[in-house]
Amino acid sequence: MITYSFTDIGSDSLYIHLYKCLKNDILNGTLYAGEKLPSKRSFAKNLNVSVITIENAYAQLIAEGYVYSIPKKGFFVADINSLPLKETSVLSMENVQLSSGKSNYFADFTSNQTESKYFPFSIWAKLTRELLTHNQPELLTNPPCGGILPLRKAIAKHLKDFRNILVSPEQIIIGAGTEYLYGLLIQLLGFDKRYAVEDPGYSKISQIYKSHCISCSFVSIDSFGVNIPDLERQHIDILHLSPSHHFPTGTVMPISRRYELLAWAAKSDTRYIIEDDYDSEYRLNGQPIPALQSIDIQEKVIYMNTFTKTLASTVRISYMVLPKHLVNIFYSKLYFYSCTVSNFEQYILARFISEGYFEKHINRMRNYYHQKRDLLLQAIENSPLAAYATISEENAGLHFLLKLKITLSDQEFLQRMEQSGIKLSSLSQYYQTSPDTVNHIFIINYSFVSEESIEKAIQTIYRGLF
């Protein structure tokens, strides 16, 4: 008779412990295929447990296929060699990111994070309390595919007031991050189209397109923006660009090139421009640059923006504005998708915008970043680094370019900076094929660098030249 000990079973119930013992013996061959197991009553008597304990253990083994029963004959061990075996894989930690997000650098000029002390926590908490008290039914009502109407109305008004973009709330689609919205656009516009991104450009965009197994090309840019002949030569259908503030070069596309691009798009029904207006709110000198969408009369521009830079990188709320003729197509093809942003976040943000808090926050942050940029430029100008540095594209967005007179390669200099506690990126890293003219140019993204660390950072960069 099979016998097992029940003296040390931990938190398991009796039948679970018995089930595990029998299962282990079947897996290691102690109980072989076809072997008859003890009857429920005799097994219960031998183990000094109840019959129900035996019944439950046998039932679990039968459900998982380790045991089978034959009426009036009893219970038998199944042939597990015929069962599909679970493959054992080893978890490689090489690409698994489990860090807390804390930086090891005293100055990180690559981070897009927001300093926590400048997030409007008190207002956010106030709006949250009010919504939880007075809007409980709305918070628990499933939102439409494109997002709740109050948020779309608030965004539409914001676009009209600050970007001169006239759209209806129905044209706006809310999503958890632009990466998700890119996936929806690919399904809307077609996997058979030829997509293109700027070269140089933000590498994640091309990675997202390629992860959807579509054709994605790189189009060169000149001092005015996307090169039109290169677009035509590569037979591009969908162009992704950032005309108001190009990353990483900082170029602002002039009006002449914008009209050239709109003319290019109008030549074919399959051509569209995806305008990424990321970072446009933080033009620090002069008036904001008009959006490409605001001069589009052919409905060829799909406008995209996000709140990750204006509020916080962890606020994963983005939106796109579809041309009117694409709205019905979107809902007829993709109506089954649920909105990926929770009602709680949508209603809070809707109130935050519509009650004027967002405008005040933008103005406050623009002043803060203006002061920080000036402090950084002044620190460079007043240091020995000034003799070896040239600054450009400092008036738009939250980064500028710093060209240094160095004999090291870009990679060697970046490694030297890392060892000194500074994280930098070079312009050459963002090119598919980097020309010699962009060597020794570094991107200074200052949004997450504290004011207290600026002077030390400039001194460290200067020392790294030699």
- Measured distance CA(432)–CA(409) in Å, rounded: 17
User: Do the strands 301-306 and 107-108 form a parallel or antiparallel pair, or are they unpaired?
Assistant: unpaired
Q: What is the pLDDT of residue 410?
A: 93
Give yes or no for a contact between 45 and 52, defined as CB atoms under 8 angstroms apart.
no
Is residue 77 very low, low, confident or very high in pLDDT (cuts 50, 70, 90)? very high
Residue 123 and residue 127: Cα distance in Å, rounded? 6
pLDDT at 257: 94
- What Cα–Cα distance (Å) separates residue 67 from each residue in 14, 38, 51, 167, 284? 18, 12, 17, 65, 73
User: What is the arithmetic mean of pLDDT over 53-60?
Assistant: 92
In the sheet where 441-445 sits, what is the strand order?
389-392, 399-404, 441-445, 425-426
CA distance 438 to 440: 6
Instruction: Look over the chain and give the mean of its residue pLDDT values, rounded to a whole number.
Output: 91
Note the pLDDT of residue 80. Answer: 80
The answer to whether the Cα torsion of 270, 271, 274, 275 is positive or negative is negative
pLDDT tens, residue by residue, 340-382: 999 999 999 999 999 999 999 999 999 999 999 999 999 999 9
Q: Does residue 401 carry a pLDDT above 70?
A: yes
Cα separation, 114 vs 124, whole angstroms? 16
**CB of 184 closer than 8 Å to CB of 175:** yes
What's the rounded Cα separation, in Å, for the pair 466 and 462? 8
pLDDT of residue 19: 93
> For residues 253 and 232, is the Cβ–Cβ distance under 8 A?
no
The per-residue pLDDT for 82 is 62
> Which one has a higher pLDDT value, 280 or 9?
9
261 by Cβ neighbours in 10 Å (0-12 / 13-18 / 19+) ranks as buried
Give which of 64, 72, 53 is closest to 24, Cα–Cα. 64
Question: What is the total residue count of the chain?
Answer: 466
- pLDDT at residue 279, as a whole number: 73
**pLDDT over 70 for what percent of the chain?**
94
- Category of 45 on φ-ψ map: left (φ > 0), alpha (ψ -120 to 50) or beta: alpha
Q: Residue 355's pLDDT is what?
A: 97
Least confident window among 59-68, 225-234, 277-286:
277-286
The C-alpha atoms of residue 400 and residue 443 are separated, in whole angstroms, by: 6
- Whole-number pLDDT of residue 251: 85
Band of pLDDT at residue 284, cut at 50, 70 and 90: low
Taking the model in full, what pTM does it have? 0.80
Best CA proximity match to 203, nearest among 181, 179, 231: 179
